[in-house]
Amino acid sequence: MNNAKTYEQLLRENAELNLRLEEATDTIDAIRTGQIDALVVNDADAGHQLYTLKTADHSYRVFIEKMNEGAVTLNADGIILYANSRFASMLGATLPGVVGKLFESFVSADCQPMFREVFAMAWHKDVQIEVKICKNKGTVACQLSLTVLQLDEGPSLSVIITDLTFQKNIQRLLKENNQRLTIANTELEASNHDLQQFASIASHDLQEPLRKILIFANMIRDRHAKDLPAESQRYLDKIISSSQRMRSMASDILNYSGLTTNPETFDEVDLEAVIAEILDDYDLLLQERNVEVIVNELTMVEGNRGQIKQVFQNLISNSIKFSRQDRPPVIRIFCNPANAGAGEADEGAFCHIVVADNGIGFEKEYQERIFSLFERLNNKDQYEGSGIGLSITRKIIERHHGTISAESTPGEGARFTITLPVKQPKNVA
């Protein structure tokens, strides 16, 4: 009898096997996603048997399948009863190769003693631990979060596995960047120190030759001016004027570099007394230029008295320097009543002081630029100065944890508003 199967029979059997395989795959997927809660199995001896899926309810299975972390359920012996797809992919393995295995076998050898200790502890309280999980030929740093689950057949241990690769890379990059920043800061501090030293030495060394240039230029003008042609006299005046401006600039550079190197000492400063001293120093100039200075009631502030004096000295000097030719200069100094906090002694309170004049003013576009180093808005031959005064003023105010702003309309004067803390903040470098 010929038992050989025909080609058509083999095709039919193959189709039936493929159908059964698809049904089995669909059933497994349905179990994993919580679409079914029981199976009916036809046993040749016992007949049809009903098997309920007690080890994982619908919500639990759906939740852990959608998680980005790995999730497993362990029995008391540490055997994996259930694992989600994410855990299998973390290991580079298949689910059949994971379920039923001892979880400890996937932990790197050097972390296994620590895992055993935590595994025993986790049955009594929630525990977290960082271990290395074996993957192919390498390992992956992971965080394990262990907690007890009360299932129908008894307690089991739920383990959530979080891949720490991304966090470890970020930590490594942060550490490397912090190291680079530390090196860069050290280099910057060294560079700043060198620049400050250079500025100080250069400015100081410039003083002596400038002094000699001015002495001899003035001697020529005083003794031989009548013998010089008009053109030579004009050139000599320019030499003297330029030398005086350079001497002023060298002095300002010394002052500016000193603000960075000198430590701050803060005391109570009486602003009215400070301004009174300045007006006394400028007495002859004020009379000569017919300047009116109106000072309203001012508050006490905590600061470096010498530096605060320099701020108001620079602002008053600027107001006189940039006054209009057709009217006497008027300078008003007052606390802005529209701003709360002036006069209060509480830490965190601020006072707002305004220095306003009726001078030539400036365009709105220069409101920030005037505080830049060496910035000049006017012709240096018409208005003397180094272009550093307002830069020094802003630097001093910032060192006192305050701000300074300017506003103006050309031909209508300028208005500078200084905001200073009444009390300097504690523990601030």
The CATH number assigned to the domain holding 157 equals 3.30.450.20
Is the four-CA dihedral 168, 173, 179, 185 of positive or negative sign? negative
pLDDT at 1: 47
Is 16 within the bounds of a domain?
yes
Residues 214, 359 within the same domain: no
Residue 369 to residue 365: CA distance in whole angstroms: 8
Is 217 within the bounds of a domain?
yes
Residues 94, 230 within the same domain: no
Residue 108 structural domain: 54-163
Count the alpha carbons within 13 Å of 105 in the hemisphere toward its beta carbon: 11
Is 310 within the bounds of a domain?
yes
Q: How many domains does the chain have?
A: 4
Query: In sequence order, what are the residues at sequence separation of 6 or more whose Cβ sits closer than 8 angstroms to the Cβ of residue 285?
Result: 291, 320
Residue that finishes a domain, picked among 51, 68, 83: 51
Residues 217, 313 within the same domain: no
Residues 308, 388 within the same domain: yes
Is 406 within the bounds of a domain?
yes
Taking residues 144-171, what's their average pLDDT?
A: 83
CA distances from 239 to 207, 243, 253, 382 (A): 15, 6, 21, 15
Q: Using 50, 70 and 90 to split pLDDT, how confident is the model at 153?
A: low
pLDDT at 87: 86
CB-CB contact of 144 with 104 (8 Å): no
Taking residues 47-51, what's their average pLDDT?
A: 46
Count the alpha carbons within 13 Å of 8 in the hemisphere toward its beta carbon: 0
Residues 141, 191 within the same domain: no
Mean pLDDT, all residues of the chain: 76
Taking residues 152-175, what's their average pLDDT?
A: 83
Residues 25, 103 within the same domain: no
CA distances from 428 to 208, 403, 420 (A): 39, 16, 15
Is 389 within the bounds of a domain?
yes
Residues 32, 43 within the same domain: yes
Residues 129, 193 within the same domain: no
Task: Tell me how far apart the 2 most distant CA atoms of the chain are, in Å.
Answer: 147
Residue 175 to residue 155: CA distance in whole angstroms: 42
372 vs 375 pLDDT, higher one:
372
pLDDT at 197: 63
Has this prediction a pTM greater than 0.75?
Answer: no
* 3-class DSSP state of 267: strand
- Does residue 43 register a pLDDT over 70? no
**What's the token pair of residue 80?**
């994996």
Residues 144, 209 within the same domain: no
Cβ atoms within 10 A of the Cβ of 119, count? 22
CB-CB contact of 145 with 128 (8 Å): yes
Q: Which amino acid type is present at position 105?
A: S
300 vs 25 pLDDT, higher one:
300
Taking residues 100-111, what's their average pLDDT?
A: 90
- Does residue 348 register a pLDDT over 80? no
137 vs 334 pLDDT, higher one:
334
Residues 327, 410 within the same domain: yes
CB-CB contact of 292 with 329 (8 Å): yes
Beta-bridged to residue 82, according to DSSP, are 73
Residue 418 burial (CB < 10 Å; 0-12/13-18/19+)?
Answer: buried
- Does residue 345 register a pLDDT over 90? no
Residue 41 to residue 232: CA distance in whole angstroms: 120
Is 429 within the bounds of a domain?
no
Poorest-confidence range of 248-262, 299-313, 360-374, 388-402? 248-262
341 vs 314 pLDDT, higher one:
314
pLDDT at 30: 56
Is 252 within the bounds of a domain?
no
Residue 273 to residue 291: CA distance in whole angstroms: 19
Poorest-confidence range of 178-187, 367-376, 395-404? 367-376
- Does residue 264 register a pLDDT over 70? no
Residues 386, 278 within the same domain: yes
Residue 313 to residue 307: CA distance in whole angstroms: 10
Is 25 within the bounds of a domain?
yes
Q: Using 50, 70 and 90 to split pLDDT, how confident is the model at 256?
A: low
Residues 271, 402 within the same domain: yes
